Structure 1
Amino acid sequence: MEFKHVNYLWDDSVAAGMSPIDRLVYRSNCLGADQRITNTGGGNTSSKSLERDPLTGEETDVLWVKGSGGDLRTSKAENFASLHMDKLIGLQKVYDAAPEKGPKTPAEDGMVGLFPHCTYNLNPRASSIDTPLHGFLPARYVDHMHPNSVIAVAASKRSKELTQEIFGGEIGWVPWLRPGFELGLMMQREAEANPALKGLVMSQHGLINWADDDKACYDLTLALIEKAAQFIEERDKGEQTFGGQKFTPLADNDRDALLAELLPWLRGRVTFEGQRLIGTVQTDATIQRFVNSHDAPRLAELGTSCPDHFLRTKIKPLYIEWDAANEDLAALKQKLDAGLAKYRDDYAAYYEACKHDNSPAMRNPNPSVVLIPGVGMIAWGKNKSESRVTAEFYNCAVEVMRGAEAMDEYIALPQQEAFDIEYWLLEEAKLQRMPPEKEMARRVVLVVGAGNGIGKEAAHRLAAEGAHVVCADLSAEAAQATADELAAKYGQGIGVAGSGVSGCGPAIGVGVNITDRESIRQLLATSVLAYGGVDHLLVTAGVFLPPDREGNLSDDAWRLTFEVNVHGAYNVADEAKKLFADQGLNGSVVLTTSVNAVVSKKGSVAYDTSKAAANHLVRELAVEMAPLVRVNGVAPATVVQGSTMFPRDRVIASLTKYEIPFEENDTDDGLRTKLAMFYAQRTLTKQPITPADQAEAAYFMLSDRSSKTTGQVFSVDGGLHEAFLR
């Protein structure tokens, strides 16, 4: 078959010679690499192979199946659970003996707790609830995917008839049933009753198919998806998709300007019980076609179909019918306020109508997906990775609706079934087992001066605590280098290239000139478009311009020193002030000053007086920005390591001035160490002051650990007694 709607990635030369488990990983990675085949984090693959029992030494049939919480695109061997087939099949007798059994019963859920007793070779990977779907089918290789084209069939009103029309007798159909033991038994009965079947369309859910050769299974998966996609393409409605266009999208610049103002305000309103969210924006032509269409309000209200979709996107998105051509931002905010209130009421009513006696407490009743004509989609999640995946999932939902409406009529999963997935006790137990969030999780920190020294170290310290970091610097290249280091260390975030969702990972790099307010506005807009808002601001950028050999400092040098060290810090805080106010969430600002602000000495008059002004700026801003935002300062003593204020020539000049021996061929780091140790001897602790020392203090002052502290300047100087308060 010629593939147009999926990417055929299998390479015999790569798969040759692989072990059975490595071939399973390879097959899984090939399938997961194309989001048209399955969702991020969704789908399951399995292989059955003969393995050696470590206790008896005898051969035993083992099911290898993607474990709970894995992602096919990135899976490795350790992401697959392994179970003795005879023990897994033996659980059917245990289940049959239960006094009360059936879908959504305690007996069915209890089977998941017995999976560990079937484990082969002490494999620690937890089995997923889909394990019976793979274990109870007779074939050696099984793929369970969530392809948009087949879910469109599964989510159509005439789903069963369309399955027969598209696939003929080789693919069967089963009605909706929540994944688990009962669904596995249902599929087993279908396969035994119809030995010629190669797969099943799972109503409202997806596709499962099988073969006795792994490459044949892969080929079949792609062929079935391609066949459904071609069937849809032949019936595609073109310009009349979703009823045709009703609203006109904004021009790119106008849209981005609107979003830069809107997002912090909206972020504050979707925050629930202090749990902030990180945003992802999608504005491409695909999502615009949907949000600007006549049918978008009707389809959005129906909600999503596939359970993998609404676990991320909730039962439905919030759609705001706003006309960008005739209404302004104030009107949009008014409609959003009304829409959010109604959404929360609807969600609470959904919860009350569907809850059970033992259901978990209601979660955040705000939408995780907001659709705005002329603008696009805004998705929210606890971190950037989650919000990107939420956006990707709703993209899939849109494609499912497009396909279903092209063939037939789209239908959504009944609310009770959706609730029983969303608030499933097994899912709740999985959430409870997750490690606690880090201290700066859900927070966005803007670090100005992140390209080097204290700013770079602080960016790493904050990211280690879960923060999303905007690395800003006069040098865009240096800022990006720091962001790249954080991305390499903490991951780009789960997302699939080509999914239609643009975005970033845990950090971005941005160039900024803090003496130019327009440059700062662009920095804030970029930060907002990347993450939805900003929670904390750290300014470490500064300059030291020494006098000439005669001790004179030019007017330009004096002016630039104050322009950066005082005006620049004020400019950034002042421009961020409106963003903080619109967001309505508690925030914090830390400015880096210096102990030089209170120590009079020769040779640094401009720098020292500018830092004295910065100290008082901290106090003034604390008053100006209260009570929503705390403002504090961190005052280092001389930090030589990693500082752009200490280029080689300045270090040599200082070593010469203080008569410290050195060699001309000493490395830059070696020279800096000599100077740092000299300065350390002036302190009470006799230890060099490092960027890490300052980063720790900045982290403390930015975080909630200092939530009752504002207007203070915190010295980190190793005990420089000349700087003691007096």
Structure 2
Amino acid sequence: MPYQPDEYKHVKYLWEDEVADKLDPVDNLVYRSNKLGEDQRITNTGGGNTSAKLMEKDPLTGKDVEVLWVKGSGGDLRTSKKENFSSLYQDKLNALDSVYQDYSDKGYKSAGEDRMVGMFKHCNFCLNPRASSIDTPLHSMIDEKHVDHLHPNAVISVASCKAQKELTEVIWGGKLAYVPWMRPGWEAAELCEDTYAANPDIWGILLGQHGHTNWSSESKSCYETSLWVIETAARYIEEHDKGEMTFGGQKYQSLDDAARTDLLKDFLPVARGLLSNKVKFIGTVQTDDATLRFVNSVDAPRLAELGTSCPDHFLRTKIKPLFVDFDPQNDDFDTLITKFKAGLEKYREDYTAYYEACKREDSPAMRDPSPTVVLIPGVGMISWGKNKSESRVTAEFYNCAIEVMRGAEAISEYTALPAQEAFDIEYWALEEAKLQRMPAEAPLARDVVVVIGAGDGIGKATAHRVAKEGAHVVCADLNLENAQRTAGELTDKYGQGIGVAGTGISSCGPAVALQVDITKRETVEALFTQVLLAYGGLDKVIVTAGVFIAEGSDLAKNDSIFDISFGVNVKGGYVVGSTAQKIWEAQGLKGAMVLTTSVNAAVSKKGSLAYDTSKAAANHLVRELAVTLSPLVNVNALAPATVVQGSNMFPRDRVISSLTKYDIAHDESETTESLRNKLAEFYAQRTLTKQPITPDDQAEAAYLLVSGQLSKTTGQVISVDGGLHEAFLR
């Protein structure tokens, strides 16, 4: 091993013999894959393949056969399990060569590559359903037991520079051979096979514009060879690093945190609206030092225009980003918007021209010509995708592209793939087929939904309901701990990554927890600023926060109860709606707002004067906001009745008081849940449906009102009360 485990500076040595030695051969392959994928400097999300050729018992003949286990299509090395690996008979894969030659001889060279992928399923061992990767023949044809194919930034820097062939010899001292760019597939694998056969002492091959492949007879030594290849390249780049003159040096200074936040909170909704001319996008903001060093540099416009190099990169980032010619020290916000609009128009024109110039007879239709990466000097990078996961991965890939360009410029000169080659990857029939196989998007998959009051009760149930339909959910509450608990539940169920204000919120996942006091405009404004930084925009707002305070018999002493009740139940909804209005108008995209009132707004009751009148005012607030925010935003309300389960309006003491008031048999030693059930059942018997009203019932109504299914409904209050005839409209 060229380096000892503690000598690595640019990758992590994670192999543990005490773990690996206890694993069977397939699990050992999975272990190696996970350890490689754990370090993003080694390979990017979803990229790279690992394989092992192992002896297995044929289930039909009982004979020992050689089986290629290789990471399948769509998997990720870091998280892959055994079921993410394809298994194929090695002898059947070998026999496919004659099939490929037959296609090639008949002039089907390009189509033949695609057809070969369809042939892999005929080689499946034990009916393994995992779809095989396009890189399967590369792993099959290299005559070694263990093979790694990776896309590390340091190696791609070499593979993407002008002197890539010469530097392969200089950096790795003859241990790596070089092959020029060729689209992944059967022909590229044959070239690698021939290169290895002609150079049997090499440890691997540098693939021009792509990455590298290396091998070994043992799993551990294959892992160590992968690390050696990357570490060696990274050390060479480090020795030639240009320091302050990286990317030609700095042309602009970054805005300070406060100024950048002020700019982004105004820019993001405008940008999202302009970008979402066909479908809505979810954003990720990147403002780390490495990103800022690039966007602020002299060479950034030139390098950005060249676009990305590695195929794995531009499948997410498109062939190039949109670089906005913004001067953070001299341009104002209006100038930024003007330049962004002009840049966006030019980008779409360029992308359309790229498609028209490169398309083939059987090319899929042109996809959305909008950029997925926007670079702004002094500000950073904003990436866009169909959901938060995709926009985060897009940001990750362009981060990789920046590092590749840094390395390539340090040791030589960065070069990108020719436009036609890039197009043939981006619009590859196999990629199109992969897109077509993807499941349909959930109804709210591209929506950002803010649920205020998500810490418990109706709000918590609503957060879960909209998340079930794919929404990106902002769990806001006066009690941050409760909001975090709800967001954590959603993250555990629907994906990784939960953000909390002040802790890198832009990297959050499908849910984020934030604190807010809706009676204070400054906290509501801070909430929506964080929402924009987290997701790039806002679509729906559901307010379930409310307050009920029991009143004394002396009405003259209830002034403070009135102030609090109207402050939360009325003013709070107004503050939220009027603050969100600016974002909705900046986006220009359809939105929805739902307030939570109460059937008490229509039913007079003793002992809840402040609560009932505040809810009556809230009902009219819904109608006023519907008029004010039309036609862009639909505003409606749901009016619950006696939701006891999980409601902070029914703490234990109020439940006991109500049970006593209605002379319902109970024992104060009972659990709170038991007492609540008795009260809920009592209330249920007063309704027409005779069923207790639950938070889930309210959540279903809230979802319906923001789902788009009632797109022609606004200014309405929907009662969810089990049929309380006293609340019928008169």
TM-score bracket relative to the smaller structure: over 0.9
Q: Which residue of 2 aligns with 1:387?
A: 391
Q: Which residue of 1 aligns with 2:656?
A: 652
Question: Within the alignment, does 1:204 sit opposite 2:216 as a pair?
Answer: no
Q: Which residue of 2 aligns with 1:459?
A: 463
Mapping for residues 393-432 of structure 1, pairs under 5 Å: 393-432=397-436
- How far the C-alpha of 1:650 sits from its partner, in A, is 0.5
Deviation sequence 1:107-153 (CA, Å, 0-9, x none): 12101001010000011111011100101110000000101111000
- Higher mean Cα deviation, 298-307 or 193-202? 193-202
8 Å CA contact retained: 2:547, 2:569: yes
In structure 1, C-alpha distance between the alignment counterparts of 2:277 and 2:319, rounded to whole Å: 18
Mapping for residues 167-566 of structure 1, pairs under 5 Å: 167-273=172-278, 275-492=279-496, 503-548=507-552, 554-566=558-570
- How far the C-alpha of 1:102 sits from its partner, in A, is 7.3
Query: Which amino acid letter does the alignment assign opposite residue 185 of structure 2?
Result: G
- How far the C-alpha of 1:98 sits from its partner, in A, is 2.4
8 Å CA contact retained: 1:388, 1:501: no
Query: Which amino acid letter does the alignment assign opposite residue 719 of structure 1?
Result: G
Long gaps (5+) in structure 1: none
In structure 2, C-alpha distance between the alignment counterparts of 1:507 and 1:698, rounded to whole Å: 18
Deviation sequence 1:474-522 (CA, Å, 0-9, x none): 1111111111110011111699xxxx99501100000000000000000
- How far the C-alpha of 1:632 sits from its partner, in A, is 0.6
- How far the C-alpha of 1:272 sits from its partner, in A, is 3.4
Query: Which amino acid letter does the alignment assign opposite residue 577 of structure 1?
Result: Q
Give the TM-score taking structure 2 as reference length.
0.97
8 Å CA contact retained: 2:142, 2:193: yes
Deviation sequence 1:416-436 (CA, Å, 0-9, x none): 000101011111011101110
Query: Which amino acid letter does the alignment assign opposite residue 150 of structure 1?
Result: V
In structure 1, C-alpha distance between the alignment counterparts of 2:568 and 2:528, rounded to whole Å: 18
- How far the C-alpha of 1:549 sits from its partner, in A, is 5.6
Query: Which amino acid letter does the alignment assign opposite residue 511 of structure 1?
Result: Q
Deviation sequence 1:552-587 (CA, Å, 0-9, x none): 751011111001000001100110001000011001
Match for residue 615 of structure 2 among 611, 636, 649: 611
Deviation sequence 1:169-206 (CA, Å, 0-9, x none): 21101111111111111111111111112110000000
8 Å CA contact retained: 2:488, 2:498: no
- Higher mean Cα deviation, 91-100 or 164-173? 91-100
Q: Which residue of 2 aligns with 1:568?
A: 572
SS of match in other structure, 1:305: coil
Q: Which residue of 2 aligns with 1:92?
A: 97
Query: Which amino acid letter does the alignment assign opposite residue 240 of structure 1?
Result: M
Mapping for residues 590-609 of structure 1, pairs under 5 Å: 590-609=594-613
Query: Which amino acid letter does the alignment assign opposite residue 344 of structure 1?
Result: R
- Aligned residue pair count: 721
In structure 2, C-alpha distance between the alignment counterparts of 1:253 and 1:127, rounded to whole Å: 49
Q: Assess, with a 3 A threshold, how the Cα gap between structure 1 residues 426 and 553 changes in structure 2: closer, same or farther.
A: farther
Deviation sequence 1:656-696 (CA, Å, 0-9, x none): 00000111111011111010000001100000000000000
- How far the C-alpha of 1:550 sits from its partner, in A, is 5.6
In structure 2, C-alpha distance between the alignment counterparts of 1:154 and 1:57, rounded to whole Å: 45
Give the TM-score taking structure 1 as reference length.
0.98
Query: Which amino acid letter does the alignment assign opposite residue 219 of structure 1?
Result: E
8 Å CA contact retained: 2:506, 2:533: no
Query: Which amino acid letter does the alignment assign opposite residue 611 of structure 1?
Result: K
8 Å CA contact retained: 1:385, 1:494: no
Q: What RMSD over aligned residues (CA atoms) do the two structures have, in Å? A: 1.4
Match for residue 585 of structure 2 among 581, 586, 592: 581
Q: Assess, with a 3 A threshold, how the Cα gap between structure 1 residues 101 and 107 changes in structure 2: closer, same or farther.
A: farther
Long gaps (5+) in structure 2: none
8 Å CA contact retained: 2:86, 2:132: yes
Question: Within the alignment, does 1:151 sit opposite 2:156 as a pair?
Answer: yes
Question: Within the alignment, does 1:11 sit opposite 2:16 as a pair?
Answer: yes
Question: Within the alignment, does 1:705 sit opposite 2:709 as a pair?
Answer: yes
Match for residue 674 of structure 1 among 671, 678, 683: 678
In structure 2, C-alpha distance between the alignment counterparts of 1:268 and 1:585, rounded to whole Å: 6
In structure 1, C-alpha distance between the alignment counterparts of 2:589 and 2:109, rounded to whole Å: 41
8 Å CA contact retained: 2:321, 2:373: yes
- How far the C-alpha of 1:453 sits from its partner, in A, is 0.4
In structure 2, C-alpha distance between the alignment counterparts of 1:137 and 1:691, rounded to whole Å: 60
In structure 2, C-alpha distance between the alignment counterparts of 1:673 and 1:165, rounded to whole Å: 77
Match for residue 119 of structure 1 among 117, 120, 124: 124
Match for residue 136 of structure 2 among 124, 131, 156: 131
Q: Which residue of 1 aligns with 2:720?
A: 716
Deviation sequence 1:288-333 (CA, Å, 0-9, x none): 1000000000000000000000000000001112111111111100
Q: Which residue of 1 aligns with 2:688?
A: 684
Query: Which amino acid letter does the alignment assign opposite residue 229 of structure 1?
Result: A
- How far the C-alpha of 1:548 sits from its partner, in A, is 2.2
Query: Which amino acid letter does the alignment assign opposite residue 710 of structure 2?
Result: S
Query: Which amino acid letter does the alignment assign opposite residue 306 of structure 1?
Result: C
Q: Assess, with a 3 A threshold, how the Cα gap between structure 1 residues 550 and 660 changes in structure 2: closer, same or farther.
A: farther
SS of match in other structure, 2:374: strand
Query: Which amino acid letter does the alignment assign opposite residue 85 of structure 1?
Result: Q
In structure 2, C-alpha distance between the alignment counterparts of 1:176 and 1:97, rounded to whole Å: 24
SS of match in other structure, 1:542: coil
- Higher mean Cα deviation, 374-383 or 183-192? 183-192
8 Å CA contact retained: 1:551, 1:603: no
In structure 1, C-alpha distance between the alignment counterparts of 2:617 and 2:379, rounded to whole Å: 43
Q: Assess, with a 3 A threshold, how the Cα gap between structure 1 residues 104 and 377 changes in structure 2: closer, same or farther.
A: farther
Question: Within the alignment, does 1:73 sit opposite 2:49 as a pair?
Answer: no
Q: Assess, with a 3 A threshold, how the Cα gap between structure 1 residues 501 and 14 changes in structure 2: closer, same or farther.
A: farther
SS of match in other structure, 1:704: coil
8 Å CA contact retained: 1:50, 1:60: yes
